[in-house]
Amino acid sequence: MRILLINPQISWQTDTGLKLIRTRTFSDYLGIRYIASFLEEKGHHVDIIDSHFEEISEEELFKRCGADKWDMYGISFVEPIVDLAMSLGKYIKEINPEGLLLIGGYGATLCGEMLLKDFPFIDAAILGEGELTLGEIVDKVDSGNGWHEVEGIMFLKDGIINKTPPRQLIQDIDSMPWPTRGPMEHYGGKANIIASRGCYGVCSYCCINEFYKRTPGKKVRIRKAEKVVDEMEYLHKNFNIDHVSFVDDNFTGILKIDKTWAQTFVDEMNRRNLHMSWGIQARANDIEEEVFSLLYRGGLRIVSLGIETDIERVMKLFKTGTTREIHRKSIEILRKLNFQLFVEMIMFEPTTTLEEIKQNINFLEEINIHDIYRQNIVSTYPRLAIFRGLPLIEEYKKIANLYDSGYRIDYEFNDERVQKLYDIINKWQVLNEETISLHNGYLHYRASTLGMVGLSIEAVKLCKQYLKFDLNFIKDAVTLIMKKPQISNGDMDYFIEGYVEGVEDIKNRFLVIYEKIYAKALSDNP
C-alpha cells in the first residue's frame, strides 16, 4: 500500500499570530517518522511531508499533497492548526475520494468526536499512539477486509460516533524500528531523538497525561541506554549529526525511575568515543547536581527548564510539584555546571494579577535572564493555552472567565489591567517581528560554524542586549499600567514609541551581522 504521512505545521507562532520560524531548531517531527518506519518494516511504501522541517509554504504543502494519489493519508493534528489541517484534509478528499483519510496526534485523541462531527470527510481519528493501530488498519485494507473493528479508533457512521476499545500502549519501545529520517541536507547537523515515552507528572495544564490516560498500559516507558546511543551513533555516521535534541515527554523522568540509566548512557558514549552534544527539556524538581554533572561528561550541553511560574498559588493550580526554592536551586546547579540554559515561563493565565506578573519579572531579573543569550524573547512567552480535555478546565470554571473557542478554551483575564498589559505586548511583538526572527535565528551559531569567531561573540553580546531591552520594556509597561490602569490605546502607542529607536538600532545591528554571515556563506559556496 502507498501511504502519505503529513505534518502540516508550517511555522511556530505566538498566540497573537506572530510567526517564529526557527530554522532547524525543531528539526524533524518524530511522530509521523516512527509510524513511517513501522509501516515500511511491514513492506509498505511511505512518503512523508514534514512541513516545518522542510521549510515549505502552505502553497507548496497543498501542491505536494495533490501531486499524486495515495491509498491512505495520515495527518498529524494539534488544535492550533485546525484550520490548516482540515483545509488540507478536505482538499485531499476532493482530489482523491477513494483515499483513506486518518487524523492522529494529541488533537485527534482529545478532540476526536468534535473533529468527526465538524469534518465528516475524515474517515477515522486515531486515539493514542498510532503505530500499531495504523499498522493493523493498513493490513486490513491491504487484504480487502473491513477495518472498523480495529482497536483505538473513532469514526462516524450514519451520523453516529463509533468508538472501538482502546489500544494498549506500546510497552517495549525499543522493539520499534528507528524513525525514518529525511534527506541529509535538511538536518544541518542537528536531529531529534527520544529515550522514552510518557511522563510521571500530573501537571493540570498539560495534554500529555490526558493523552496517555485514555489508553491502557504502563505510561512511562524507557529505552535501553545502549539502544539510544546506537541510534545517536547511526545519526552521526550516516547523517553527519553532531547534536541531538531529546524530545521526550519528560526526559528527566528516566533519571528518577532508573537510577542506573545515566551512568550506562555516559559509559556507552565514552566507550565509543562518540563526541556528540545533546539537549533536553527538564522539570525543575528533577535537577540533581551529581546526576547532571555526570550527564555533562556524556555530552549534555543544553537544558530547557520548565519553570512556568514563580507564583506559589499558580504552582499549586498547575500541580507542578515545584516551589520557588526549587526553581532557584535548579538554576544555580545548571549554571554552576556550565549548561546552556533556557528558562520557559507561562506569564499569563486567566487568574494572573498584574502584581504576580511583576513578581515573575522580578524573578527573571533576579536570575539575570538576559545573560542566557539563547533564551527566547521574554515578550514572546506564551499565555496559557487551554485545550479540551485538560483537568484544569474544571478548576477554572470555578474561578475564571472561560468561553468556548472551538478546539481550545479561551478566556478573559480576571484582572483587567493584565489585559491592558497583554495588549501592549501584542503591539510590541508586531513592532519587533523582524528583530525577534533575527534573534531566534541563532546568528552566533551560524557565524561560529563559518569560523567567524569574533562575529559570533558580537552576536552573543547583541542577543543579551536585546533580551535586557525587551525585559525592561515589559517591566516599564507593568509600572505604567499600575499607575494608569485605564490606559487608552493612544497612550499605549505613545509609550511604545519611546522604545522604537532603541529596537531599531538593535535590529540594524542584527542585520549587519546577518549580512556578513550571508556574504561569507556565499564566498565559501559560490
User: pTM of the prediction?
Assistant: 0.91
Strand order in the sheet with 386-387: 386-387, 408-412, 401-404
- Type of residue at 356: E
Q: What pLDDT is attached to residue 12?
A: 54
Q: How far is residue 461's CA from residue 455's CA, in Å, rounded to a whole number?
A: 10
Q: What pLDDT is attached to residue 213?
A: 83
Express as a percent the part of the chain with pLDDT over 70: 97
Task: For 78-95, give the DSSP string.
Answer: -GGGHHHHHHHHHHHHHH
At 33, is the secondary structure helix, strand, or coil? Answer: helix
Q: What pLDDT is attached to residue 24?
A: 38
What number is the average pLDDT over the span 25-30? 76
- Hey, where are the domains in the chain? 2-163, 183-345
- pLDDT tens digits, 464-515: 999 999 999 999 999 999 999 999 999 999 999 999 999 999 999 999 999 9
Name the CATH superfamily, with its identifier, for domain 2-163: Response regulator (3.40.50.2300)
- Please enumerate in sequence order all residues whose Cβ is within 8 A of that of 467, keeping only pairs 6 or more positions apart, or say none: 369, 370, 372, 373, 375, 377, 378
Angle (CA) 95 101 106, round 5° = 135
Domain 183-345 is found in CATH 3.20.20.70: yes
Is the model's pLDDT at 300 over the cut of 70? yes
At 113, is the secondary structure helix, strand, or coil? Answer: helix
Task: For 367-425, give the DSSP string.
Answer: TTGGG-TTPPPGGGPPBPPEETT-THHHHHHHHSEEEE-SSEEEEE-SSHHHHHHHHHH
Judge contact between 183 and 49, C-beta under 8 A.
no
Average pLDDT in the chain: 92
Buried b / exposed e across 114-153, counting CB within 10 Å, b at 16+?
bbbeebeebbbbbbbbbbbbbbbbbbeeeeeeebeebebb
Q: What pLDDT is attached to residue 445?
A: 82
Residue 169 CA from chain centroid, whole number: 22
Beta bridge partners of 47: 4
Is the model's pLDDT at 16 over the cut of 70? no
What number is the average pLDDT over the span 270-289? 95
Confidence of residue 23 (pLDDT cuts 50, 70, 90): very low
Confidence of residue 526 (pLDDT cuts 50, 70, 90): low
